[in-house]
A and B are shown apart, each in its own frame.
Chain A
Amino acid sequence: MNSEDDVVCAFCDHLRARGCIVLAEGGNQAAAFRYRVGSIIKAPDVVAICGQNLVVAEGKLRARDLFQRAVRGLSDLDACVAIERSSAIQTSLRAEALRRCRVSQIQTRDGLVVKTALFAHRVDKSDVQLAMEAQVPLAEVHSETTIWPDMP
């Protein structure tokens, strides 16, 4: 895997293989699932319905980059934490997911629960430690993807 795009696609292939419905998948997703954290507008790399959960995930080639704050001060981990803490963001993400499923005639269940996750190709022990401390699942993406802890 050479790029974030490769990692996003591998992660999404893994989710699809587990029966998830991937609604946003990196790339040209500027208009999809946008949400605001303070003055910053974010769009998640991946949004997927996995059973009862709406998984909102951020990915990078190297896991350590998930914890790096960009110029404007928000890391991917910060974005996940912001989603977990904000019921308003969760409501808007849930509403968009349901709307997209409705127009696409995809069956969904009521009462989706928003869960955040991180994923990367190169993961060190220190990355796992950081993710554990923040209680956000971190997936290590290979051809055979493994996930800590069990992703929904």
Chain B
Amino acid sequence: MNPKFIFYHHKNLALAKYVAHYADLPKTAPGAKIEFKSLPQQAVENTWAELPNQLRRLLFFARPDLVICLDDGVRPTHPVFAFEITQHVPARDHWMQRFPNLVGCAQEGVPGAYIMPFDMSEHPSFKSVIDPDFFFAYDRVTEIHQTPVFIAEWQTPDRRTPKGDSKFAAQPCSKMPDMVRAFEFLRTAVDAAFHGRPVASLMRERTIIDLRDRIRQRAYQSQLPSIASFKRLQHAMPNNRPLTLPELRAWLKGKSLTLPTNLPDRLVRRNKFLVFTPQVSTRGKTQAQLRSALMTRIDKKGGDPYLGQPLAFDYLFCRLGTTPYERDCSVVANLTDLKFEDLAKFHRKVWEKSPLQFTSLKKIKHIPTYTMYLKEGGSETIKNFLKLYAFTADLIVFEDGIIYF
């Protein structure tokens, strides 16, 4: 059987065709065929459970615009490269919003390229320049997961308009230096995957080291990120450092809450707590208004801009290893604008739709979905906000109580 590359795209077939045209994969993998498939819009769709297992794990947090999978007829179909593309400059809230998209890739050992403008300082409505902390966060991701991620610049010659390609004018110009590098990186990664070489071996290749150095040049050009430079952290940590356990107890006491007595040992021993507060502009707003505003964000806007923020702060300040348990500082999500029942209503919906409630095989409508639930429970189908906060946080603090992980 000829090897096959499957381009799974997230509502972006145009990008998939553009990448397929310029990547020239059959040259890297002789005889290979290319197929385009659309990713299911939601994890509750039946086709979700039919996706290759490793691809589903990669999509745990979010969906990159394009994931290239390899089916070599021998190994299970598996992702080998991912693309994320945006016409927005990653100013602070924006990059954190999309941060989980490529973290899922790195966590699964899948290299990726993130293509974006670096300078939109003349844009009429979204004036923005790039945030160096964005590069620092991705450098940490690369270092922790030993999986290369390249941040490619989509040039904006007039500081407001991304330069288009001569053949696919809606896509980045394929001749821009960073796009040439991105395609070379893609071919290197595909070649390694095709020949069964581990992704970590890429980290020692000169091309990849050069790409990493380009990220570091931007990440370390100014001061390293600190708690004081993020209002959402500074809110509960005015001393520009994580809270100690006694300080955390005092902070909770101010909210009429008490830390559970049976807190996991690892949290007590760390004695460092990074407290993240999504809504910090509270002036003139009642508790009911704050609650309603946050619920609207979660319910109608996919949790943005708060969705990826705890994960970004985790990588910036806490994470040491590949799992959230490998930290020297615990992540606390301050959701005291909400009650426990506000988020609980989302997992109730998953529970109500779960095929695990049926005891008759005749009532199981779709076997792959049923077996996915058997193995994973509802972890893949739960609302993204809940999924990400549960994955990242050690403690979630509600108005009426605390849960820990």
State the A residues within 8 Å of B (CB): 2-3, 5-6, 8-9, 12, 16, 21-32, 96, 99-106
- Chain B interface helix/strand/loop/mixed: loop
Q: CB distance A103 to B87 under 8 Å? A: no
- Note all chain A residues with C-beta closer than 8 A to B65: 27-28
B217 at the A interface (CB under 8 A)? no
CA distance in complex: A25, B85 (Å): 14
- Chain A interface helix/strand/loop/mixed: mixed
B92 at the A interface (CB under 8 A)? no
Q: Which listed residue, A22, A28, A103, touches B12 by the CB 8 Å rule?
A: A28
Q: CB distance A6 to B164 under 8 Å? A: no
- Note all chain B residues with C-beta closer than 8 A to A102: 158, 161
**Can you report 15 A-B residue pairs in the complex whose CB atoms are below 8 A from each other?**
A5-B9, A5-B11, A9-B14, A21-B169, A23-B164, A26-B12, A26-B14, A31-B88, A99-B158, A99-B160, A100-B161, A103-B158, A104-B166, A104-B169, A106-B169
Closest Cβ of chain A to B162, distance in Å, is: 8
B54 at the A interface (CB under 8 A)? no
- Number of A-B pairs whose CB atoms are under 8 Å? 85
Q: Determine the residue in chain A with the shortest Cβ distance to B86.
A: A28
CA distance in complex: A100, B12 (Å): 20
Known interface pairs A5-B13, A9-B13, A103-B156; A28-B87 also in contact (CB < 8 Å): yes
- Note all chain A residues with C-beta closer than 8 A to B106: none
State the B residues within 8 Å of A (CB): 9, 11-15, 17, 38, 65, 85-88, 126, 156-158, 160-171, 173
- Note all chain B residues with C-beta closer than 8 A to A103: 156-158, 161-164
Closest Cβ of chain A to B77, distance in Å, is: 20
Closest Cβ of chain A to B368, distance in Å, is: 19
Q: CB distance A22 to B13 under 8 Å? A: no
Q: CB distance B38 to A5 under 8 Å? A: yes
CA distance in complex: A24, B164 (Å): 10
- Note all chain A residues with C-beta closer than 8 A to B12: 5, 26-28
Closest Cβ of chain B to A91, distance in Å, is: 14
- Note all chain A residues with C-beta closer than 8 A to B169: 21-23, 100-101, 104, 106
Q: Determine the residue in chain A with the shortest Cβ distance to B164.
A: A104
Q: CB distance A106 to B170 under 8 Å? A: no
- Note all chain A residues with C-beta closer than 8 A to B168: 22, 25
CA distance in complex: A32, B126 (Å): 12
Closest Cβ of chain A to B119, distance in Å, is: 12
CA distance in complex: A29, B168 (Å): 13
A8-B14, A30-B88 given; name 16 further pairs at CB < 8 Å.
A6-B38, A16-B167, A22-B168, A26-B11, A26-B12, A27-B65, A28-B86, A32-B87, A32-B170, A100-B161, A102-B161, A103-B161, A104-B169, A104-B173, A105-B166, A106-B169
